[in-house]
Structure 1
């Protein structure tokens, strides 16, 4: 999102802890300490140049180190946590005591958070309801007289969802239903062969407002921000949870 919006940003070479027992996961976990040290060094330089007055952590492993660096300053930088899920993540639980405020999307019953919590909901892009259906139909070359099913597995796609959809996609190639299917960049080459008059396959959709506005049904992963956007747009949906999600 940041490169598209041309916003100043810094990328950290950090990855999350792999929790399965495969050799690939073991290899990634083995070099995790090196990634943590490299990220902390990069953050130290950034903090000296930038001198933030407030640090907002949105949960997940990517925000843990910036929050840690904020608390390690000679004069501690205030931190605000934004918990997007109904179950507080590890990062939120770790930094709850040091946070000035914890903004939550859902009512959370956790003794560690109760004294600093504000029920704010999740922030969503301010143009999510501004899509124009006529322009969207032209952009994706879709038929205004057909019902449209919008399928996506998040910005990076979902291998599980794509595979499941590929087994039934030909059933949608008819006179009453059409499909807009975002596969994700890594999966696109595997599924672009299903492109037809009624089935539009694309690696990535930047203008989600247009995709939502032409949708009669949304089939997607049930990520926190996705749920917030689908709810705001008032779209009927079929949601596929991620089985390995924390607290599932």
Structure 2
């Protein structure tokens, strides 16, 4: 297949696209691929580093309030469609896949006008604006959570595939990477991180827990995020906690997940895909700053079946965090039950399920 993939703005749109490309290559189904993003977006760095052919269109999102910027947005969208049509005609794809973000709107819509098969992938439990718009025009709508189906009126187009990122991590085995951080791979481990940039409210709560963490029968790997690392290290500079390792960031994060017994962090779609593929219990602190508070809805899907616990950010402090972590880590029956429930939600063949839909559209 010749495939154009477009998605950008956040890692949640980019990493599923990359996972899909990797699985297409692994199955020898990819004759050629082109990734379409924006020059300013995160995708321009991530995709280029992987040596995936990359083209750009200029586009931006609508402002929620009346603004002249919305006039510019419409202008850029129209111009983006013309450029996207040119890209498509030159590349001649068999199918175009959109994984979300404003940039995918122009390339997927342009493909529709040129009668190229199209499919979009929605990672979250609440549909993004771009995907809800594109749902009117595409051939298939792949979803990661059944709960998001109600937001699309095109019921006949919906197919539950899960998130391709799940399949990318599902096959990773324990590899003793914890030794890199001065931790013992044989000791149960809690991983705490708030994403690549970190989450300051989570970091503050963890700082207050470190002494008590060091007294537990489990160990803690705490990734502060690069921009918060210095202030965290300053806050704990006169202490030396056993069983606790504090780092700014963890490269190749998925590789360490099989060695982890509990994850504490945000509830983005990619994180959920990864931990359910491996069956890891979680404590979620959803970011309240994302569109439509979708991380809370994501987290609730797991809390309803006791695969995770949730602490809302206004309720987060050292006491509330310590209580829930100890509850899970000091009760093996509860921990194992949560792990089993998490595993049941996982879709470790998600990329293949999405590829099946692509193959069906290109017959």
205, 208, 211: which is aligned to 2:250?
205
CA contact (8 A) 1:150 1:211 kept: no
1:220 aligns with 2:233: no
1:246 aligns with 2:280: no
Q: Which residue of 1 aligns with 2:130?
A: 91
Q: Gapped runs of 5+ residues in structure 2?
A: 1-45, 295-363
Cα offset for 1:233? 0.9
RMSD across aligned C-alpha pairs, in angstroms? 3.5
Cα offset for 1:42? 6.4
CA contact (8 A) 1:180 1:199 kept: yes
Cα offset for 1:69? 3.4
**Number of equivalences:** 242
Q: Which residue of 1 aligns with 2:182?
A: 141
1:164 aligns with 2:205: yes
- Which protein, 1 or 2, shows the higher relative CO under an 8 Å CA cutoff with sep ≥ 6? 2
CA contact (8 A) 2:109 2:137 kept: no
CA distance in 2: counterparts of 1:186 and 1:38, whole angstroms: 36
Q: Gapped runs of 5+ residues in structure 1?
A: 21-25
CA contact (8 A) 2:167 2:277 kept: no
- Provide closer, same or farther for how the CA distance between residues 12 and 220 of structure 1 changes in structure 2, counting only shifts above 3 A: farther
More displaced 10-residue stretch of structure 1: 195-204 or 178-187: 195-204
- Provide closer, same or farther for how the CA distance between residues 31 and 165 of structure 1 changes in structure 2, counting only shifts above 3 A: farther
Question: 5 Å matches for 1:1-248?
Answer: 1-10=46-55, 14=59, 16-17=61-62, 43=84, 46-47=87-88, 49-72=90-113, 75-107=114-146, 108-110=149-151, 112-174=153-215, 176-193=217-234, 194=236, 198-243=243-288, 244-246=290-292, 248=294
Cα offset for 1:154? 3.1
Partner-residue secondary structure (3-state), 2:135: helix
CA contact (8 A) 1:192 1:202 kept: no
CA distance in 2: counterparts of 1:118 and 1:55, whole angstroms: 17
- Provide closer, same or farther for how the CA distance between residues 176 and 117 of structure 1 changes in structure 2, counting only shifts above 3 A: same
Structure 1 or 2: larger helix share? 2
CA distance in 1: counterparts of 2:143 and 2:156, whole angstroms: 13
CA distance in 1: counterparts of 2:71 and 2:182, whole angstroms: 48
Cα offset for 1:50? 2.8
- Provide closer, same or farther for how the CA distance between residues 206 and 52 of structure 1 changes in structure 2, counting only shifts above 3 A: farther
CA contact (8 A) 1:184 1:203 kept: yes
Cα offset for 1:6? 3.3
TM-score normalized with structure 2 length:
0.55
TM-score normalized with structure 1 length:
0.77
CA distance in 2: counterparts of 1:88 and 1:216, whole angstroms: 31
Give per-residue Cα distances to partners, 1:126-156, cap 9 Å, x unaligned: 4414444353122222123433111122344
